[in-house]
Amino acid sequence: MASKPAAIVTGSGRGIGESIVYRLAEEGFSICVNDISSNQAAIDTVVDNINTKFGQGTAIGVAADVSSSDEVKRMIDQTVQQLGPLRVMIANAGIAQVASALDLTPEDFTRIFNVNVLGVFNCYVHAARQMIAQGPVVEDAIGYRILGAASIASFKPFALLSHYCMSKGAVRSFTQTFAIEMARHKITVNCYAPGIVGTAMWDEVDEKLGELEGRPRGESLKKYSTDLTAMGRVSVPEDVSKVVGGFLCSRDSDFVTGQTLVVDGGIVFT
């Protein structure tokens, strides 16, 4: 077993999640890289890159669907068996869909909520149970951390993203209540809320918005970042991973819980 503290990051085969696992490896964590089974090649690539740079055994890969309670439990069990006690769970996996609310189907709604809300619930609860069973960490080590991916969409409504906004609002709310319940177990629970980030998910959003609003590919992303972001640029995944891996997963955040840290370059002001 690895002597480094173990962390799981869901949806880390690409995008923000991938950036987070690299930052955590730099910070001295061993990592479980997770994504769905159809992204197994991406999982393997990230694991190989981490192990090459930080030493064999630093990272493992586990394909699992976060909307399945059984698969999340299996992922945690496998991580503990191979890497040691779980110290950090980051429920990063999420999906989006651009559509008018009038055009949404119950199936659309269920698909978004199964990943974005039920997936976070599964990760939070199973991770907390594992952490509680492990008992207190030694005093000079980082404590238990549970983190979830919210979004600026949990603060600011966006047309054509109604069920996505609802799902991220639910993540914020559950994080706050779960933080209160977990405080007596010395587990902190927080969210991070990215803005407009140049990832594959936002590329998909950009393409659909362009179709609906009559803009060329790439122009919606540019327009949103220029019109909405005080810093005047599209965010990159590293903007988020610095906050998540560098602060929220460090001892500097020992007294921070139930919060949603916005990393958006100045779109929403809380």
Hey, which residues are catalytic here?
164, 168
Q: Are 44 and 18 in contact (CB under 8 A)?
A: no
Report residue 248 as tokens: 């929220």
DSSP state at residue 257:
-
Q: In this structure, what are the phi and psi dihedrals at residue 208, rounded to the nearest 5 degrees?
A: -70, -40
Place of tokens 């966006």: 158
Residue 260 DSSP SS3: strand
In three-state secondary structure terms, 6 is strand
Quick one: DSSP state of residue 98? -
Give the C-alpha distances (Å, rounded to integers) separating 90 from 4, 21, 110, 150, 165.
17, 10, 22, 11, 20
End-to-end distance of the chain based on CA atoms, in angstroms? Answer: 42
